[in-house]
């Protein structure tokens, strides 16, 4: 993927070296893109300005007396620390379950030829396309029946399962790119398949595993609907759900605090995304996920 | 030998168990419950009765289901197929011609809307389309009359918001696809005197048609499932004017406590997802012999 993004850069450079008509075309493209970019930023501008404005409303305006008061106000254990800790627990749990299950499943699928492989992989791919919001009503029913409502562990396993098809698909693709020869040497020396997986394959696909982990973590961190339905007690709710505490019981909305909280809650996923895309080219994770 | 082969597949078991328990079981339960009068509370919650196809019959005699189905179609067509897909392609094409600084800055802006947690994006969109929000401020500056978007044009507001939220995905898919288009083909077209847009329509688009098909399937599936954005912005209102199928399923099940009818709506949505999913799997199979 890195090579193709390099090639993309070559192409960009190539088209620029031309006469004045291509200069005009390039300027046109620049202006059109800039307009689109401004339109995409506009809704986020409110978030940034309201966060530093203690008197914020829904209007986008430069604060008359900018301060960090909103950030100070939300920086309490109940408002910020507990929900973020819950988000962290949910997302890390989900990513760990995903990674373990996906690595175990991907190993035989990647290493042994079997009639079972292809149908399984296509079933998994089919699973990625189930609309998760559609199954929340039945999942709620199921959780009531099995008495798993308000259980952090059960929520983690459910969230992990919703991203598992994608994780298996990605992990298998990463594993396929680790050459088989190294393992064969280990097998000759009498190492078991699981030992070869642990000592040879996994270290070689560290980066890929990192991508899968971050990919799942970001999705779980941002998920609102699943914990909203499955976790009832406020002490267990992640930031995505606890954010509603800024909509006061009496109709008063603390806009500035809402914006400040939103920013603090968003920073981890922005950093993680930057980490993945910086390291491996912008479309890496994505194309690994969908193109195979 | 068969035993050994079976043992080799043993590590797949945890994944299969998870998928069976948390994905297949809810889907199966959804179809089952849609034929009962299961409820959130009361007698029907403890002991649901089999009611046959009553819930499905009600769907088509009720006004809310046909409306929600129609709104879902409009929402998906306008915000995914048209909005995200066309805008994503446009941005990706413009990026091949623009300065690298511009394209990376704009790329970051587009991706930011997509990477943000869904609830944060939903609040930002809610504030933006609010009566006192940024959009009306811009309209004011341009000398127009501000509108109460979320109340008077809820469908337009959620379509624009979902386009804003999801375009990054199509943009990334098309950037990757365009990077694979061999340069000499584009150059040969240039020699033949193909103008820019002709080159795009007759040469580039046919070359990336498999990416277009895959992208359309994926964004359709993602948009079919959108709940949080709509729920935060309009809660499906006013008077069901922006109630798509996921919102309807949620309302029937949790607001009115009618799990049976809610799962019936959910089952229709699951079936829709399965149809698109099957087409998507076929597409990928054809691409990889």
ipTM of the complex: 0.88
The residue among B3 and A20 whose pLDDT is bigger is B3
Residue ranges of chain A with per-residue pLDDT less than 50:
1-18, 281-292
Nearest CA in chain A to B39: A141
Q: B273, A265: Cβ pair inside 8 Å?
A: no
Within-domain flag for B183: yes
Nearest to A157 among B22, B138, B226 (CB): B22
Cβ-Cβ contacts under 8 Å between A and B: the total is 309
What 3-state class would DSSP assign to B227?
coil
B46, B123, B158, B189: best to mutate for the A interface, most A CBs within 10 A = B123
Chain B environment of A194 (Cβ under 8 Å): 11
Within-domain flag for B139: yes
Within-domain flag for B180: yes
Q: What is the pLDDT of residues B131-184, one digit of tens each?
A: 888 888 888 888 888 788 888 899 999 999 999 999 999 999 999 888 888 877
Chain A environment of B26 (Cβ under 8 Å): 135, 138-139, 141-142
In whole angstroms, give the CA distance from residue B77 to residue A230.
31
Nearest to A108 among B8, B218, B253 (CB): B8
Report CA dihedral (A272, A278, A280, A285) to the nearest 10 degrees: 40
pLDDT of residue A159: 94
DSSP state, A18? S
Q: What is the pLDDT of residues B43-89, one digit of tens each?
A: 777 778 888 888 898 888 888 899 999 999 999 999 999 999 999 99
In whole angstroms, give the CA distance from residue A22 to residue A7.
20
Under 8 Å between Cβ of A259 and A56: yes
pLDDT of residue B86: 95
Q: B15, A130: Cβ pair inside 8 Å?
A: no
Q: A291, B176: Cβ pair inside 8 Å?
A: yes
Q: B228, A225: Cβ pair inside 8 Å?
A: yes
Chain A environment of B25 (Cβ under 8 Å): 142
The residue among B96 and A251 whose pLDDT is bigger is B96
- Give the residues across from B50 on adjacent strands: B36
B206 to chain A nearest CA, in Å? 18
- Count of domains forming chain B: 1
Chain B environment of A38 (Cβ under 8 Å): 109
Chain B environment of A243 (Cβ under 8 Å): 119-120, 123
Average pLDDT over chain B reads 88
Q: B18, A102: Cβ pair inside 8 Å?
A: no
Q: A138, B112: Cβ pair inside 8 Å?
A: no
In whole angstroms, give the CA distance from residue B285 to residue A224.
33
The residue among B138 and B187 whose pLDDT is bigger is B138
Within-domain flag for B15: no
Q: B27, A240: Cβ pair inside 8 Å?
A: no
Q: What is the DSSP string of chain B?
A: -HHHHHHHTGGGHHHHHHHIIIIIHHHHHHHHHTTB---SSSHHHHSPPB-TTHHHHHHHHSSHHHHHHHHHHHHIIIIIIIIIHHHHHHHHHHHHHS-HHHHHHHHHHHHHHHHS-HHHHHHHHHHHHSTTSHHHHHHHHTT-----HHHH-HHHHHHHHHHHHHHHHHHHHHHHHHHHS-HHHHHHHHHTT--HHHHIIIIIHHHTHHHHHHHHHHHHHHHHT--HHHHHHTTT-STTTT--HHHHHHIIIIIS--HHHHHHHHHHHHHHHHHHHHHHHHHHHHH--
Report CA dihedral (B69, B75, B77, B78) to the nearest 10 degrees: 150
- End-to-end Cα, chain A, rounded Å: 12
pLDDT of residue A196: 83
Within-domain flag for B32: no
Nearest CA in chain B to A98: B15
Nearest to A125 among B178, B254, B284 (CB): B284
B225: domain CATH number is 1.10.3720.10
The residue among A59 and B31 whose pLDDT is bigger is B31
Under 8 Å between Cβ of A215 and A285: yes
Q: Model pTM? A: 0.87
Chain A environment of B29 (Cβ under 8 Å): 138, 141-142
A128 to chain B nearest CA, in Å? 8
Nearest to A157 among B18, B25, B246 (CB): B18
Within-domain flag for B22: no
B81 to chain A nearest CA, in Å? 17
Chain A environment of B191 (Cβ under 8 Å): none
Chain A environment of B123 (Cβ under 8 Å): 47, 243, 258, 262
Under 8 Å between Cβ of B221 and B273: yes
| Domain that residue B163 falls in | 62-285
């059960």: which residue's tokens? A154
pLDDT of residue B116: 93
Within-domain flag for B71: yes
């Amino acid at each position: 993927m890195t090579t193709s993004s390099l090639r993309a850069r070559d192409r960009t450079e190539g088209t620029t070296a031309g006469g004045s008509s291509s200069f005009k075309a390039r300027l046109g493209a620049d202006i059109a893109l800039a307009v689109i970019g401004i339109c995409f930023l506009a809704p986020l501008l409110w978030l940034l300005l309201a966060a530093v404005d203690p008197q914020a409303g829904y209007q986008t305006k430069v604060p008359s007396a900018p301060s960090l008061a909103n950030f100070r106000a939300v920086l309490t254990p109940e408002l910020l620390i507990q929900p973020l800790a819950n988000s962290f627990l949910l997302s890390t749990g989900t990513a760990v379950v995903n990674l373990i299950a996906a690595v175990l499943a991907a190993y035989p699928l990647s290493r042994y030829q079997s009639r079972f492989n292809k149908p399984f992989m296509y079933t998994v791919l089919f699973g990625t396309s189930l609309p998760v919001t559609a199954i929340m009503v039945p999942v709620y029913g199921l959780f009531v029946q099995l008495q798993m409502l308000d259980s952090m562990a059960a929520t983690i396993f459910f969230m992990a399962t919703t991203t598992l098809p994608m994780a298996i698909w990605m992990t298998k693709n990463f594993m396929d790119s680790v050459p088989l020869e190294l393992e064969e040497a280990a097998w000759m020396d009498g190492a078991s398949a699981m030992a070869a997986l642990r000592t040879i394959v996994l270290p070689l696909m560290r980066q890929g595993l990192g991508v899968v982990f971050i990919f799942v973590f970001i999705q779980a961190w941002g998920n609102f609907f699943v914990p909203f339905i499955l976790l009832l007690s406020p002490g267990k709710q992640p930031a995505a759900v606890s954010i509603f505490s800024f909509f006061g019981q009496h109709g008063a909305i603390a806009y500035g605090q809402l914006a400040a909280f939103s920013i603090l809650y968003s920073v981890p996923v922005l950093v993680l995304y930057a980490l993945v895309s910086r390291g491996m080219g912008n479309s890496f994770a994505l194309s690994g996920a969908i193109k195979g | 030998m068969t035993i050994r082969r079976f043992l080799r597949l043993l590590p797949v078991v945890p994944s299969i168990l998870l998928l069976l328990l948390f994905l297949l079981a809810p889907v199966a339960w959804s179809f089952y419950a849609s034929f009962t009068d299961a409820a959130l509370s009361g007698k029907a919650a403890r002991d649901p009765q089999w009611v046959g196809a009553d819930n499905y019959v009600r769907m088509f005699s009720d006004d809310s289901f046909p409306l929600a189905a129609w709104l879902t179609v409009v929402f998906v067509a306008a915000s995914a197929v048209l909005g995200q897909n066309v805008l994503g392609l446009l941005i990706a094409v413009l990026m091949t011609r623009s300065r690298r600084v511009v394209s990376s800055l704009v790329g970051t802006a587009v991706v930011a809307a997509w990477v943000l947690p869904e609830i944060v994006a939903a609040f930002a969109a809610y504030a933006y389309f609010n009566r006192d929000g940024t959009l009306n401020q811009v309209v004011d500056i341009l000398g127009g009359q501000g509108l109460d978007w979320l109340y008077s044009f809820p469908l337009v507001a959620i379509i624009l918001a979902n386009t804003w939220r999801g375009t990054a995905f199509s943009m990334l898919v098309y950037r990757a696809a365009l990077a694979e288009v061999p340069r000499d083909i584009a150059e040969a077209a240039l020699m033949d005197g193909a103008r820019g847009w002709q080159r795009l329509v007759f040469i580039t688009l046919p070359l990336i048609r498999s990416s277009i098909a895959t992208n359309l399937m994926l964004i359709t599936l993602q948009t079919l499932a959108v709940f949080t954005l709509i729920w935060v912005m309009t809660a499906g209102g006013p008077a069901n004017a922006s109630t798509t199928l996921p919102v309807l399923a949620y309302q029937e099940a949790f607001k009115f406590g009618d799990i049976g009818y809610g799962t019936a709506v959910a089952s229709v949505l699951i079936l829709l997802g399965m149809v698109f999913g099957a087409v998507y799997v076929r597409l990928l199979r054809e691409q990889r012999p």
